[in-house]
Structure 1
């Protein structure tokens, strides 16, 4: 079973298997009734339990939600996927003073954000528009965590903590990402002690890159 946590617009960029399950951010918000990241992870948990995927693929905020959901399963000794593939995203060490899109999302209208994404070749899931206030709240949560982490790191220098993560993991990285700093991906790789990390595309959105190349990377990592 391939369980994917990603926007509908990138359905085809890793190839579709008959047993692929697509989970969108809108799906999780509908299920959780909230865009709180912890609640989204709780909403994802039962789906992972039901589908018992062999592989999970995640991108952007879906990466954060997926890691939280799987950490809960690791802690409880539940069945885990055989492999995880992560595209650009952050779990810790995200610096909102460097990557400021969580801030400008608070200041721009939903239509303006959709227009800016469209200019990059990205189509916003229409269902997200009705959840705009919840999504802004989610990004305020990210801003608060980032700033608290920034202050605490200034007061006390802390080494990057490596988590117990017994899952074979590949990071397919997009270079020159305007939304996710390279430092956040570096920290993610250390935190999870990832099995492999490769450069796969340019920018933030993997489905705008070489789909044949990315599909090959995904299919070869199992």
Structure 2
């Protein structure tokens, strides 16, 4: 079977995680095939197909996330080394070179564009971030990952959800957190949508920064000073 061959190849390369996942997938395929030809009424005939399909699906999902993580990790080392050479503290460079967000991109472009938009030079940005706690910088990086470029490659200055962005540490304003803008107002600012089959509407709100303005102001509240201008 193809998955068995992949398992052997991965083991030969020392990639035991991938080898195990391919082996599981191959085992699931064997169960599915055996179940399809087994005598009716027996366990194998009844459960071989569903159990085998479940193993194949689980291993496929596992392989997707594992290979995705390996692919992203290829960029993190060189990025971290580059940032350290530029003058960033190792802890800060490690956070800034994190590619673990869903699309595999770096938060660097959004941070750099925001700083430039509001008058902070690359040198000022580095000096400011180097003084900060690495975990808070990680929080900022997580938020920067939510600011996406538009079709023309530009980061938006403002966004329609700016008023709905939650302030650090990102807790629901109705349950002890606050909004980034008008923090004294804890009323829900999103919208309600009907849910088929339910009497209770769903609350819909996007609390993440989607613009450079919201990212700048999130950083100001997070660090207690103007980091991004």
TM-score where L is the length of structure 2: 0.18
Structure (1/2) with the larger strand percentage: 1
Look at both structures and tell me which one has the larger radius of gyration over its CA atoms: 2
TM-score where L is the length of structure 1: 0.19
Bigger relative contact order (CA 8 A; separation at least 6)? 1
Structure (1/2) with the larger helix percentage: 2
